[in-house]
Amino acid sequence: MKKDAAAYVQKCDKCQRYALIPHMPSAALKSVSGPWPFAQWGMDIVGPLPAAPAQKKFLLVATDYFSKWVEAEAYASIKDKDVTKFVWKNIVCRFGIPQIIIADNGPQFDSIAFRNFCSELNIRNSYSTPRYPQSNGQAEATNKTLINALKKRLEQAKGKWVEELPGVLWAYRTTPGRPTGNTPFALTYGMDAVIPTEIGLPTIRTDAAKQEDATQN
């Protein structure tokens, strides 16, 4: 299947036109692995992007350093209160309280309100330089991947990137990463997701599901 996928990508016009060209970075990216899942998150803001419905043109992105699981939401503008709600809803209420959140020291992340919110939950804030994204390598790498994937999916309808975002996140979460060879989904939930290409194929899970259906009927 991997060989077939590689051959497909080589023939895919969008993949070739929008794929990132490998090159040496201007400075080394600092990518640090988290000690365990969801202990350490990197956060960043992407945009402005082409205006979508409701004038949404910014992405708030959070990446778990251990599993590489990504959470992202679209906004018309992003303030510190939006970051606070995002962290509470997408990180704390889903994966527990992290040890540390790494972000640049922009006003959305370095406000008194957000610092107080983190302090109340005993979350440590770590800040990189806003114009030096290499110091938060995980967030920088994730941003490039998401934007590249959105470009491949959108073509001319660039204002529809918000509609495509869930699919892009799903693809990112279910794609094996290097160097572990595991998907973020598997590292998060302990098993790989059932993806569309698995439907109709004789796999252990699909066979088990069919046998269960046959037994019940």
- CA 120 and chain centroid, separation: 26
> What does the pLDDT read at residue 158?
74
Q: Which amino acid is present at 8?
A: Y
197 within domain boundaries? no
Taking only the tens place, the pLDDT of each residue in 162-205 is 998 999 899 999 999 877 789 999 999 998 888 887 776 766 66
> What does the pLDDT read at residue 30?
47
> What does the pLDDT read at residue 196?
80
> What does the pLDDT read at residue 14?
46
Give percent of the chain with pLDDT exceeding 70: 70
CA atoms within 13 A on the CB side of 68: 28
Q: How many domains does the chain have?
A: 1
Quickly state the pLDDT bin for 32 (edges 50, 70, 90). low
> What does the pLDDT read at residue 86?
98
**Residue 116 clears pLDDT 50, i.e. is over it:** yes
The lowest-confidence range among 56-60, 81-85, 133-137 is 133-137
Give percent of the chain with pLDDT exceeding 90: 44
- Distance, in Å, from the CA atom of 101 to the CA atom of 40, rounded to the nearest integer, reads 6
20 within domain boundaries? no
Residue-averaged pLDDT of the chain: 80
Name the residue range of residue 45's domain.
26-173
206 within domain boundaries? no
> What does the pLDDT read at residue 217?
63
- Distance, in Å, from the CA atom of 60 to the CA atom of 73, rounded to the nearest integer, reads 5
> Is 129 or 153 the better-scoring residue by pLDDT?
153
CATH number for the domain spanning 76: value is: 3.30.420.10
178 within domain boundaries? no
182 within domain boundaries? no
Contacts of residue 37, Cβ cutoff 8 Å, sequence gap at least 6: 64, 66, 67, 69, 95, 187, 188
> What does the pLDDT read at residue 130?
53
16 within domain boundaries? no
pTM as predicted: 0.76
209 within domain boundaries? no
80 within domain boundaries? yes
Other CB atoms within 10 Å distance of the CB of residue 88: 13
Quickly state the pLDDT bin for 122 (edges 50, 70, 90). very high
